[in-house]
């Protein structure tokens, strides 16, 4: 088989045991050799493909450690409200969609944001009723933890004045007790099962477009975690489809999948264990939610939100239940990723991991805490001592600063995204974007981690900035460690998978203010060029 030879470059191995070189050989989907130009050129065979890098730097391909990749593919074929600037403009988009769809067909979308609208109050069902009176509508907020629905959707799901709040969820109500059209956290489950899946042709088109977009950004591997927006059966549908694509050699993106926590008993009964699968598609473990989000004011806090005497957010699951699930999973060889944003949510998650540490260590599991946005100072060191990965998405920092200062107050706000503190305490960082909540471009997370800018570009809480090198480690070796694939990915070492990216400029060498000016010009997956900038 022909090989791929990259020469006349700078090979950033990201492994201190392997110094930088100028050339690399990819063969049969693996790194076969790294060395100097003279040696590699001497290895040339007639059918090899040779690419002159012209001095450009090669890194291991990006590994996004926290995505909702399948759902992102669906959003590429659904209504997007990221650019809406008010409740009215969002409703105009809904109205336009309703005019193109048959009556009764669901309108599903996401991306609206109170902070972007500069609004204090959540929108209501009435405005959606006017925009789409004949269609059930479900619109996820940017963070995915709150849905805005209309009366038709509430009726389809049978949600009325008499419907009680589910455990860990909220049905927002007006002064008369009637649902306003806002559903939060576990209340989303009341409506998910009624939303019909798009046709497979539509899904396949979205997956193809998402994969091509990710390749253009240098991303070769993603961790897919169960999300608040997805229906209960969505991960199963996705996994079946991914398996079919892998069998045909058409998957295109390496994936580690984390199923919803309520699937644990079924996973245990069929003998699934973390790490099962192939280099393309692996079972990672389960995903739990300790709390909600900052934007929806449902992140679980140790102290009340600013100006709210009794509001400490939402515990989506009780600490005792979470601890029992994490321990059962660990005893059966299944890792857990726990969503935790508020400092109380983080503490509850760490407590659960502590109770399962012996079993997790015995089974070699990589336990993960997703987001870790607000961490109490006394809990920072627990990540390393418990062996818990901090799976973080610094791209969200820019949009969260104002909310953090407003809802958590200045002292707690300064404890958000404590990346340098976590690294100093010995924690492993795994970087991601949480796409589709944020765009998939890894450079946004690199920017958030290294510069910590406000939306206007001014730096914020710079004592928690980390170096460009550490940020790149989080997107390569750290992410590989979190997924349990560090023996095959995350560094450019002979025997590792040949997943690489080439930058227009070296992001490590650039001044930090220009770090994100570096663009990916070439992406290699499995030893084959999948993207080349024109």
Q: Give residue for tokens 């997790």.
A: 360
Q: Which CATH number fits domain 80-192: 3.40.50.261, 3.40.1440.10, 3.10.310.70, 2.60.40.10?
A: 3.10.310.70
DSSP assignment string, 259-289: EEGGGHHHHHHTT--TT-B-SSEEEEEEEEE
List beta partners, residue 52. Answer: 7
CATH number of 65-69+198-483: 3.20.20.140
For residue 165, the 8-state DSSP code is P
271 pLDDT above the threshold of 60: yes
Query: What confidence category does residue 80 fall into, taking pLDDT thresholds of 50, 70 and 90?
Result: confident
Phi first, then psi, for residue 452 (nearest 5°) are 45, 60
Q: Give residue for tokens 């091509």.
A: 212
pLDDT cut 70: percent of the chain above it = 99
| Gap between the Cα atoms of 57 and 133, Å rounded | 55
Q: What pLDDT score does 54 carry?
A: 97
What HEC string does 300-366 produce? Answer: CCCCCCCCCCCCCCCCCCCHHHHHHHHHHHHHCCCEEEEEECCHHHHHHHHHHHHHCHHHHHHCCCC
Lowest mean pLDDT among 180-184, 322-326, 360-364, 419-423: 180-184
Between 331 and 188, the more confident residue is 331
505 pLDDT above the threshold of 50: yes
Q: What pLDDT score does 134 carry?
A: 95
Residue ranges of the domains in the chain?
4-60+495-532, 65-69+198-483, 80-192
| Gap between the Cα atoms of 217 and 522, Å rounded | 9
Residue 95, both tokens = 């109205």
Report the candidate in 343, 434, 429, 433 with the shortest Cα–Cα distance to residue 390. Answer: 429
Please say whether the beta carbons of 513 and 33 come within 8 A.
Answer: no
Q: What pLDDT score does 257 carry?
A: 97
Give me the chain's average pLDDT, please. 94
Superfamily of the domain at 4-60+495-532? Urease, subunit C, domain 1 (2.30.40.10)
138 pLDDT above the threshold of 60: yes
Q: What pLDDT score does 228 carry?
A: 57
Q: Which helix (H) or strand (E) holds 128?
A: helix 125-131
Query: What confidence category does residue 229 fall into, taking pLDDT thresholds of 50, 70 and 90?
Result: very low
Q: Give residue for tokens 């473990």.
A: 285
Q: What pLDDT score does 241 carry?
A: 93
pLDDT in tens, 343-369: 999 999 999 999 999 999 999 999 999
Lowest mean pLDDT among 372-376, 434-438, 491-495: 434-438
140 pLDDT above the threshold of 80: yes
227 pLDDT above the threshold of 80: no
386 pLDDT above the threshold of 80: yes
List beta partners, residue 390. Answer: 369, 429
Please say whether the beta carbons of 421 and 383 come within 8 A.
Answer: no
- The residue-averaged pLDDT of 449-462 equals 92
């Amino acid at each position: 088989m022909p090989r791929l030879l990259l020469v006349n470059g700078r090979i950033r191995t990201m492994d201190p045991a392997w110094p930088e070189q100028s050339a690399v050989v990819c063969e049969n989907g693996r790194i076969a050799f790294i060395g100097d130009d003279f040696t590699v050129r001497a290895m040339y065979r007639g059918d090899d493909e040779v690419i002159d890098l012209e001095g450009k730097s090669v890194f291991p391909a990006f590994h996004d450690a926290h995505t909702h990749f399948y759902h992102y593919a669906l959003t590429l074929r659904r209504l997007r409200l990221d650019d809406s600037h008010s409740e009215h403009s969002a409703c105009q988009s809904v109205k336009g969609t309703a005019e193109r769809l048959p009556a009764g067909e669901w309108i599903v979308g996401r991306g609206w944001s109170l902070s972007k609208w500069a609004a204090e109050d959540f929108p209501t069902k009435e405005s959606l009723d006017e925009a789409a009176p004949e269609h059930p509508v479900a619109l996820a907020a940017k963070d995915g933890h709150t849905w805005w629905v209309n009366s038709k959707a509430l009726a389809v799901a049978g949600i009325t004045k008499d419907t009680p709040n589910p455990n860990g969820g909220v049905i927002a109500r007006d002064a008369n007790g009637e649902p306003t059209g806002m559903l939060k956290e576990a209340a989303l489950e009341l409506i998910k099962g009624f939303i019909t899946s798009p046709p497979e042709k539509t899904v396949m088109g979205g997956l193809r477009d998402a994969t091509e977009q990710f390749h253009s950004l240098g991303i070769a591997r993603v961790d897919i975690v169960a999300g608040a927006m997805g229906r209960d059966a969505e991960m199963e549908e996705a996994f079946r489809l991914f398996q079919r694509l892998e069998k045909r050699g058409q998957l295109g993106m390496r994936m580690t999948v984390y199923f919803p926590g309520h699937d644990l008993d079924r996973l245990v009964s069929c003998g699934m264990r973390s790490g099962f699968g192939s280099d393309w598609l692996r079972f990672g473990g389960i995903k739990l939610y300790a709390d909600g989000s900052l934007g929806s004011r449902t992140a679980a806090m140790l102290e009340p939100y600013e100006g709210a005497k009794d509001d400490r957010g939402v515990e989506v699951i009780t600490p005792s239940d979470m601890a029992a699930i994490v321990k059962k999973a660990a005893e059966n060889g299944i890792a857990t990723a726990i969503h935790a944003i508020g400092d109380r949510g983080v503490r509850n998650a760490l407590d659960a991991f502590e109770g399962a540490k012996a079993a997790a260590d015995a089974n070699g599991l990589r336990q993960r805490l997703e987001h870790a946005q607000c961490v109490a100072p006394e809990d920072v060191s627990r990540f390393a001592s418990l062996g818990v990965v901090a799976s973080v998405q610094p791209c969200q920092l820019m949009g969260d600063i104002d909310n953090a200062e407003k809802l958590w107050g200045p002292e707690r706000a300064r404890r958000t995204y404590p990346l340098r503190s976590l690294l100093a305490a010995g924690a492993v960082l795994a970087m991601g974007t949480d796409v589709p909540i944020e765009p998939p471009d890894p450079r946004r997370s690199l920017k958030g981690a290294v510069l910590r800018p406000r939306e206007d570009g001014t730096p914020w809480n710079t004592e928690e900035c980390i170096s460009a090198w550490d940020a790149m480690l989080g997107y390569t070796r750290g992410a590989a460690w979190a997924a349990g694939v560090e023996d095959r990915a995350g560094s450019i070492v002979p025997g590792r998978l040949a997943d690489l990216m080439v930058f227009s400029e070296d992001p490590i060498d650039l001044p930090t203010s220009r770090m994100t000016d570096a663009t990916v010009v070439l992406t290699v997956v499995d030893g084959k060029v999948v993207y080349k900038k024109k």
